[in-house]
Structure formats: C-alpha cells, structure tokens
A and B are shown apart, each in its own frame.
Chain A
Amino acid sequence: MLKRDHTLSLSTQARAPGFRVELKGTTFRLIASGAWTVAEATELDLALRRLRVPIPPTPEFTGEMDIAGIAEIDTAGAWLLQRTAATWEAGGLRTRYAGATESFRILIDEVQSRGNVERPKFEKHGAAQQLAQDVARALTGVWDDAVQLTSFLGEVTAGIGRMIMQPWRFRATSFVHHLDYAGLRAVPITSLICMLIGAVVMQQGVVQLKLFGAESFAVNMVAILALREVGILLTAIMVAGRSGSAITAEIGSMKMREEIDAMRTLGIDPMDTLVLPRILALIVALPLLTVLGDIMGLIGGGLMAYSYLGLDASAYLDKLHDTVKFRDFMAGMIKAPFAALIIGLVGCLEGLKVEGSAESLGTHVTSAVVKAIFLVIILDAIFAMFISAVGG
C-alpha cells in the first residue's frame, strides 16, 4: 500500500473511497478520493461497473483520471483505475492520469503494463465426458495393474531363483528383522481380532440355530468356518493393513529420497535387499499367524460355547475332535503363503511406483492396502471354488 503522505494518519471519514465524474471543457474527469485499497475494492468495483462509459461527441474530447485526492492506493485500487481508463480508451476517449505522485505513478505504470496479458482458458469438461474419461481411466488402470503385477511376479520369481543358485545373496539380517515386525509384533492384534470374531460367530450361531433346536451344531459351524475361512482371511487382512502399508511406506520413502537410485549406482540390487527379504518374511510369517488365528478363533468360540451352551473345555474339545478333519485345517492353511505373496508383491510394487512427492507416497500406501485386501479376497474365492471342485 502506498500513502501520499506517511506522516498523516487518516480519519475514518477521509479513508472512505469515492469518485465522481464531471465534464470540464472537452475533458471527462474521474475525480477519485480516499483510500483505494483492496479492503475497499468490493464497493469500488461495483460502483465502477455501474458507471456509464462517457461517449465523446467529437474526437477532441479526452479523459482524465484525477487521483490527486487519493490518499492511499495499492494494486487493487490501481487495477480498478486502470480498468476504468481502459474501457474509456476503448470507447474512443484518450485518457491520462493527473495528480499522481512519483510512487503512485510507478505502481500505475506497473499495473498498466502487467494487467493486460492473454489469459489461458481453464479447460472444463462436461459431466458426461468427465464420467466417460474416469471410467476409461479406471479400466485401463486395472489392466495396467494386472500387467505390472504379473511382470513383477516374474521378476520376484527370477530373484528367488537367483537366490537359490547363489545362496550368499540372501540377506538374513533383513529377513529376520521383517519376520519380527510382520510376524511376532502382529501376534497380539491378530489374536485379539480372531478371538473376538470367533466368539461373535458362535454367539450368533447359537441364537439362530436355537430356533431349530440345533444349537449344538453352532460348534461345528464355528470350527469349520474358523479353520477354513475366518482365520486366514482375518489374519491376511490384518497383515495387509499393517505390514503391506508399512512395506509401501518404507520402500516408497526410500524411492522418494533417491535412496533406491543410490543403491543401484552402488551395485546393490534393490530386489535382493528390499523386496525379497520382505516377501519371504511375509511368506513365513503369515502361515504362522494363521495357525495362531485359527487357535484363537476356536478359543473365542469355546468361551461362548461355555457361557451359552454350558460346554466345558473337555466337552468342547471332544466335539471339535468329532467335527474337524485335518483337511479343514489344510484348506485354510494352503491359502496363507499365497495371500502373503500377494500382500508382499502389491506392497513392494506400490512402493517402487512412488514418485517425488509426499502426496504420491500417501496415494500409493492407500492403494497398496486396498489392492492387497481386494486381491486376498479374490484369492480366497478362487480357492473356495477350487477346493470344493476337488472335493475338499
């Protein structure tokens, strides 16, 4: 903001901006006064828009912006004056400024020279076009994901093959670290969740089956469900949420800070150091966690069986022994390493896709979790069909 006189402190009345237009001789004069600043710009803008552009009867008529009465001005004020002057000019009135101080002059010249630039159009699509574009992008995105994931699976398989041929490439420290993080540290939360779900299913089962007088079959239901589906699915979802996101975040932030490029230039293969230890650790950890999840699910069911059916521990175990076969357990367990592979693949791949910015990291972590959970459920469905087809 520029002031005409810095020593002067303006009263509120003197600050009030205003203008009037008068004709003097052959000159249309816009006489402005007060503080032409951005704070006052709203009213000035409206008033100036309402102002009729003077039409010169003969070409010798001129316009004048008399700003001798302006006490304060900033770019907004200067822009408003300039806009008015430009419309007058466009109407065939040569317009000049009068009463500007040196500093006012500089500001007005700057606004004059900067204000009239060609503006690019902001491209806005219609709703239908936008929708079509989004759908197309989503579909090609799914295809791209499938291609990338398959090719990454190939790379990982090749990496594992290389590691078997050259066992010294195996990073034991890193493997143990990730086994600890993805396995051991996930024990409390996985156990708790599986136990709660086991208990809830048993309780709901008893209530519903009681209607048929078949409440004791709730034990069969919980046992089969826990071993075949709930144990593995819940554990895999927990691991996808917990370790899948961590993998993407770790690898992604390393990618962001160019650490992965640095590794490559130092002759270190990120596949050996970052990807394989994580995926192998998950492949070991998830089946172990699934066993635990199965047990906890059965324990949760047992607690409810005790309180709703009055079955004590030995009766409950006897009943389990009668209903559950080893292949029920295996039908669940067989899925665990595959689920682990999917979580690891998606997590690492999304991490490696992170680009320079922090937003990119956030997006990829989210999509890693969503994709991993989605694929785990798809995998579960495929296995369910397969197992029932082979008569398991």
Chain B
Amino acid sequence: MTVDHGREVLIRVRGLAKSFGGYQIWDGLDLDVYRGEILAIVGGSGQGKSVLLRVITGLVKPEAGEVELFGRNVKTLSKQDRLDIESRWGILFQDGALFSSLTVLQNIQVPMREHLELQQAMMDDLAFLKLAMVGLPPEAAHKYPSELSGGMRKRAGLARALALDPEIVFLDEPTAGLDPIGASDFDHLIRKLQQTLGLTVYMVTHDLDTIFTVCERVAVLADKRIVRTGSPTELQRHPNHPWIKEYFCGERARAAQPVEGPRRLLV
C-alpha cells in the first residue's frame, strides 16, 4: 500500500507518454489519486482526458510510463490479479454503455454473474437496491436501454458500475448531455453515494458546476502533462497558468458559484 502525505494512494501514474498519429498528447504525465477523494480531471479538448481514463483502466496501452493500481504495477499483474482489480473498480462511460440486448436489471447483474456466484434472489435484491440508490424507479428494471432517456441511461450505467461495491468509480463526463436540473441531481447523487459507500471518484468533466459542487481536488491537464492539482477554490484564486485562468476565471466560471470547500450534503 502506497501512502503519500498521510493519505493512501489508490492510483499512481508516473511519466506517462502517448501519441496519436504523430501528435504527442502527453509527455511525462504524473498523477496520484487518493482514497476517498472526488477528483476531477479537466483540460481542453484533445488533451487526452478520456484517453488517460482508458490508460488507467487498461483499455489503451501507453508508450512509456508506469501505472500503479492499489499499489500494484499493472505491468507485473497476472491475469487473475487483473480480474481481481477489475472487480474493485466501476466505470461509467459517457452514454452509460449499457448492453443493449439486456434489461437494466440484467445489466446491473452482469458484473455479479462474471465475478461472483450469488443466488438469483440475492442478485435481484442487490440490483433493485442499486437501482433505488441511483435514483431510478423500480419500473425501470425490466426496460431495455433503448427505452430509457439519456439521464436514466447514465444512472443505470452508474448502478452497473456500483454492482460489486467498488472502491473506486471512474466517471467519463457524467453530466454531459444532461439538462441543468438533471446535471445538478447527478452531482448530488455522486456526492451522496461517495459519502454512503466510501467511494473514491475519478471524474473526467467539463462542468464547472460539478467541479464547484462536488469535487475536492482538480487535476488540470495542459501542456502534455498535469500542470496543477488543487481544490477548485485554490485554483480559482491562484490560477498561475493561462489555461487555468481562462477556465476558472472566465465568464462561465463566474456564473458557477464557488463554495468554501466541498458542499456537505445531508444524508
């Protein structure tokens, strides 16, 4: 177990490099994700925010650099270790990535079936519980993904990501494509689940409202690496970088209300 500044490091990324079609997107990227935090990755388009998520989860191979998950270097993992680690995280893709031929309930049970040997009744109980926890009505259980709205698909995707009670969830643009009310509800949901389940949340986002409402720490991806990390208010007060200044002190940032520290929600 890696401990840094008194906090346990769940993910440690060092010296990552990757290029696409001759264009280098990162060169020496470093990042730490601590247990129990909500971390937002921000950055301009084409900086490789989503690709970083894919590198950490092993979907894309980096050209250079090390990725450590739960204190283990991914390069030294056996197939079984890899499976164990996969059951310790949950990923919410942009549009939910639900399996279209399965109902919502079956979708939530897919990870349980793959990794565990639970009784069907127990899986149903757990799936309905997860469904309620992400704020979906029980009627949604027997619907197919194509019958759900975009917001409901994201919630169902989150329920699937939480199926095995992971320690860390990765969210890829969780509020993109949602209306402001839906997005705000989703922010609160993430915060509440994080507190209830003791989750670590790794979030790729553009949404300033989300960042100011739920995130404790922001990592800024610019100039081919993580240029700064810090709390949203800290970055807003002392940007020290042209992109951060534009992002956190621009017109849209002024509209998003900064709060002192992450907002505590009543549970």
Interface residues of A (CB under 8 A from B): 1-3, 6, 9, 37-39, 41-42, 45-46, 74-76, 79, 83, 103, 106-107, 109-111, 114-115, 117-120, 122, 357, 359
Contact = CB atoms under 8 A, between A and B. Distances in A.
Contacts of B100: 357, 359
B34 to A, nearest CB: 12
A1 B14 CA distance: 27
B228 interface: no
Contacts of A110: 133, 196, 267
Nearest to A2: B198
B119 interface: yes
B33 to A, nearest CB: 16
Interface in B122-177: 122, 125-126, 128-130, 132-133, 138-139, 141-142, 146, 162, 164-165, 167
Interface of B: 1, 8, 35, 87, 100, 112, 116-119, 122, 125-126, 128-130, 132-133, 138-139, 141-142, 146, 162, 164-165, 167, 195-198, 267
B125 A83 contact: yes
A359 B128 CA distance: 27
15 contacts: A1-B167, A1-B198, A2-B197, A38-B118, A42-B116, A75-B126, A76-B165, A107-B197, A109-B267, A110-B196, A111-B129, A115-B128, A120-B139, A357-B146, A359-B146
Nearest to B162: A75
A334 to B, nearest CB: 45
Contact of B138 (A42, A76, A120): A120
Nearest to B100: A359
Given A1-B165, A107-B196, A359-B100, A117 B142 contact: no
A114 B192 CA distance: 13
Contacts of B87: 39
Nearest to A3: B198
A118 B35 CA distance: 35
Contacts of B142: 120, 122
Contact of A41 (B1, B122, B132, B138): B122
Nearest to A359: B100
Contacts of B118: 38, 41-42, 45
A38 B116 contact: yes
Nearest to B142: A122
Contacts of A74: 165, 197
Nearest to B143: A120
Given A6-B8, A106-B196, A79 B167 contact: no
A357 B98 CA distance: 13
A114 B195 contact: no
Contacts of B130: 75
B142 to A, nearest CB: 5
A75 B198 contact: no
Contacts of B196: 106-107, 110
Given A41-B118, A42-B116, A117-B132, A79 B126 contact: yes
B234 to A, nearest CB: 25
B267 A79 contact: no
A82 to B, nearest CB: 9
Contacts of A115: 125, 128-129, 132
Contacts of A109: 267
Nearest to B139: A120
B195 A120 contact: no
Contact of B141 (A1, A83, A114, A119): A119
Contact of A39 (B116, B146, B197): B116
A111 B198 CA distance: 14
Contact of B132 (A42, A114, A357): A114
A111 B8 CA distance: 27
Nearest to B128: A119
B103 to A, nearest CB: 8
A377 to B, nearest CB: 31
Contacts of B122: 41-42, 45, 76
Contacts of A41: 116, 118, 122
Given A6-B35, A359-B146, 6 more contacts: A2-B197, A38-B112, A42-B119, A79-B126, A106-B267, A117-B132
A194 B167 CA distance: 62
Contacts of B125: 79, 83, 115
Given A2-B197, A74-B165, A117 B126 contact: no
Contact of B129 (A45, A79, A103, A122): A79
Contacts of A9: 1
A112 B130 CA distance: 12
A48 to B, nearest CB: 10
A389 to B, nearest CB: 49
A355 to B, nearest CB: 9
